[in-house]
Amino acid sequence: MVKIGDVALGEFPLLLAPMEDVSDPPFRALCKQQGCDMMYTEFISVEGLIRDAEKSLQKLDIYPEERPIGVQIFGAEMDAMMEAARIVEEAKPEVLDINYGCPVKKVVCKMAGAGILQDIDLMVKLTEAVVKSTRLPVTVKTRLGWDENTMFIEEVAERLQDVGIQGLSIHGRTRKQMYKGEADWSLIAKVKENPRIHIPIFGNGDIDSPEKAKLYKERYGVDGIMIGRASIGYPWIFREIKHYMATGELLSPPDIHERVAAVREHLSRSIEWKGEKVGVVEMRRHYTNYFKGYPGIKPFRSVLVSEMDPGVLFDTLDQIEELFAEVLLP
């Protein structure tokens, strides 16, 4: 049984990665329905939290059906990190996660996210301060290093464990790589194999199929897998991986009726949670994957990614379901 603190996650948990403007409550609900064992919020700026910024506070919204869930924060200033940890605790998530992996320039330039990989001593001090500021179990998500010359993830894992973290998710790329090239899981495996490491180690990067998930589980020995981009517009990735690991058989992809039902629920929840304008706009990144592989879908997708009227969007979904009802994807 894999556990983060007292939070039991099953024998080989699948985690939803924290993704800005993606892993919000509407999307998390769908992933949970499809078998995701633990999810993380979008990453939240500690500066936004301590200044009561509306967007940051909204990201603390947690619904009963989502649990267990982790709230992820990012920042680089100790007092702000400590205060944010106390604010997060009031939202009562199961876990508090620290983001040391985001490669985006506007985050990195403030020494937050993956920027802190340039100063491991500071990373350790900030982590220790957060651990001491909260009763929640603290986890960390990070990368292999800043660049190919600073891949000190084994040392980082030991030091973070020593100051009290209770789980570590590692993306198999450096900050310099961003999301390019292939994720290198060999160093993730070395962390897991380190006899000093006793906290769960989760691998992240490039898992986009049940076959790959099973292969990487067996090859690299991680305690679980964190899935990010492959889940966008395709929450079924979680159930497909679980079924394949349990039976060795591939599930058929969801048919058009299930896809349209998921999009309807996702869009409805998005509008309800964010308001009509933002809810409609932030759904757009999902549509391509929801209907990937359907011949002749392009004109309908063009409507979905440009139309602002929810009524027109729902009518378009009806048309898609009717037109593609007989189309079976391989």
Same domain for 268 and 235: no
Assess whether pLDDT exceeds 70 at residue 330.
no
Mean pLDDT computed over 206-224: 97
Residue where one domain finishes, among candidates 216, 247, 278: 247
Domain that holds residue 269: 256-323
Residue where one domain finishes, among candidates 247, 275, 307: 247
Same domain for 266 and 171: no
Q: Model confidence over 118-143: pLDDT tens digits?
A: 999 999 999 999 999 999 999 999 99
91 lies in some domain: yes
Q: How many Cβ atoms sit within 10 Å of the Cβ of residue 2? A: 19
Predicted pLDDT of residue 109: 85
Instruction: With CA atoms as reference, report the closest residue to 295 among 252, 330, 251, 245.
Output: 330
Q: Model confidence over 174-196: pLDDT tens digits?
A: 999 999 989 999 999 999 999 99
Predicted pLDDT of residue 329: 72
330 lies in some domain: no
329 lies in some domain: no
Query: Considering 31, 36, 102, 109, which one is annotated as catalytic?
Result: 102
Please state, rounded to an integer, the average pLDDT across all residues of the chain: 95
Q: Model confidence over 72-115: pLDDT tens digits?
A: 999 999 999 999 999 999 999 999 999 999 888 889 888 889 99
CATH at 55? 3.20.20.70
Predicted pLDDT of residue 54: 87
Q: Model confidence over 144-168: pLDDT tens digits?
A: 999 999 999 999 999 999 999 999 9
Residue where one domain finishes, among candidates 247, 275, 299: 247
pTM here is 0.94
Is 109 annotated as catalytic? Answer: no
Same domain for 122 and 57: yes
